[in-house]
A and B are shown apart, each in its own frame.
Chain A
Amino acid sequence: NAGVTQTPKFQVLKTGQSMTLQCAQDMNHNSMYWYRQDPGMGLRLIYYSASEGTTDKGEVPNGYNVSRLNKREFSLRLESAAPSQTSVYFCASSEAPRDAFFGQGTRLTVV
């Protein structure tokens, strides 16, 4: 029972490089989310997808793009990484307020 799986778990990028964070869930949830966690800031919503084929901006979307590839997968792309994007990234999925599940997180460092 995998739940929400994120890859990679750790990544170091150089400023200006691009990368895609992958997320997949096996719980047949309609809604998926990307959050970032910074020290002293809690978790903040970057983008979310309420259903397959739809995406919407959250609180801090600048510098990111997302793709809801199918019901299972929701990816987050950094086109040109900046040091300000150094953070821990969490993918989550939900079907109802009682069922928010988080992945293990990706620690990204941009140097």
Chain B
Amino acid sequence: AQTVTQSQPEMSVQEAETVTLSCTYDTSENNYYLFWYKQPPSRQMILVIRQEAYKQQNATENRFSVNFQKAAKSFSLKISDSQLGDTAMYFCAFMKRGSNYKLTFGKGTLLTVNP
């Protein structure tokens, strides 16, 4: 079974600064996908970014980028130019290829962006 670990239960950052959220995972699989989801106070789960394990290039979506280290099984999320609207719970998630698209989530990191 896969496990996903987010070692930072809470983090805070000043508006306009950069913050990095950590995620490690444990798997014996070689083909998989990794995701970061954002959950604001509205409770809605919003996909932030995805990474396909066979791609060496790190995924980027506007102010959000990842540092994917496959050998180290590490998948961190960097948020640049933090905005107040980035305040949310962030979940790292793992999906094994061919597993009916089931997601295994980490326990989450609560990020607070301060003005």
**Do A and B assemble together?**
yes
| A interface with B by C-beta (< 8 Å) | 31, 33, 35, 40-45, 48, 50, 56, 58, 88, 90, 92, 94, 96-98, 100, 102, 104-105, 107
- The size of the chain B interface, using a CB distance under 8 A, is 23
Are B101 and A44 interface neighbours, CB within 8 A? Answer: no
Q: Which residues of B contact A41 (CB under 8 A)?
A: 107
A48→B99 CA distance, assembly (Å): 11
List 25 A-B pairs, Cβ < 8 Å: A31-B100, A40-B9, A41-B107, A42-B91, A42-B106, A42-B108, A43-B103, A44-B105, A45-B103, A50-B100, A56-B100, A58-B102, A92-B45, A96-B101, A97-B33, A97-B95, A97-B101, A98-B50, A100-B35, A100-B47, A100-B101, A100-B103, A104-B44, A105-B44, A105-B45
Could you tell me the dominant secondary structure of chain B's interface residues? loop
Give 6 nearest A-B pairs by CB, closest first.
Answer: A102-B45, A42-B105, A94-B101, A50-B100, A43-B105, A42-B107
Cβ of A55 to closest chain B Cβ, rounded Å: 11
Could you tell me the dominant secondary structure of chain A's interface residues? strand
- Tell me the total A-B contact number using a CB cutoff of 8 A: 54
Nearest B residue to A107 via CB reads B43
A31→B101 CA distance, assembly (Å): 8
Q: Which residues of A contact B44 (CB under 8 A)?
A: 102, 104-105
Cβ of A79 to closest chain B Cβ, rounded Å: 24
Are B102 and A90 interface neighbours, CB within 8 A? Answer: no
The answer to the question of B70 belonging to the interface, with a C-beta cut-off of 8 Å to chain A, is no
Nearest A residue to B96 via CB reads A97
Q: Which residues of B contact A104 (CB under 8 A)?
A: 42-44
